[in-house]
Structure 1
Amino acid sequence: MVVVVVVVVVVVVVVLVVVVVVVVVVVIIIIKSALDTIYICSLWLLRPVDLGLTLLFVTTRTNFLVTALHPTQEQMRAGNEAKETN
C-alpha cells in the first residue's frame, strides 16, 4: 500500500514539473516574439527615411493601380467617340 502511494506521489510530481516547464517555455517564446516585434517597430521608428521611402513606394503603387483601373478623360472621350461612330 505504501509503495502505491509513493509511486502515485512521484508520478504526480513529475507531471506537475513537466507542466510547469512547458508553461515556462511557452511564456518565454511569447515574450521573445513580443520583444522581436518591439525591436522591429523600433527600427522603423529610428529610420524615418526608410519609413518614408516605404510609404512613398506604397503610395506610388496604389496610385499606379488606381490609374490603371480608372480610365483617363482622353480614354473615356475616345471610347465615347468610337461608340458614336459605330
Structure 2
Amino acid sequence: VRAVRTEQADKAVYAFFVAGADLLKFAEISRVHRDGEGSLHGFQRKGIKSHVQAITEFLDQGPVLFPNAIILALSPRARFTQTR
C-alpha cells in the first residue's frame, strides 16, 4: 500500500489506508495478558460485546464510510520503500 511518512518524537510514523477486510492479512491483535511469571504483555483490551455488536450492525447496513484511525505497532521486519 502507499503510505505517507512523517516524523513524530524522533520516530517514523506512516499513515495509509486499507480496507477493513484486508487488515488481518498483515496485522494481528495483541491482547493484554500476563505470562507465567506475571509480566504484562500485549496492548489491546478485550472488546465490550455490546459495543462491538453495535458497530457490526452499523457496518452491515450497506455501503457505509467508517474512517476511524487504528494505531498499529509494526514488526521490525516491516519495510517501507520510497517511490518518489
Instruction: Report the TM-score, using the length of structure 2 for normalisation.
Output: 0.22
Instruction: Report the TM-score, using the length of structure 1 for normalisation.
Output: 0.22
More helix by share: 1
More strand by share: 2
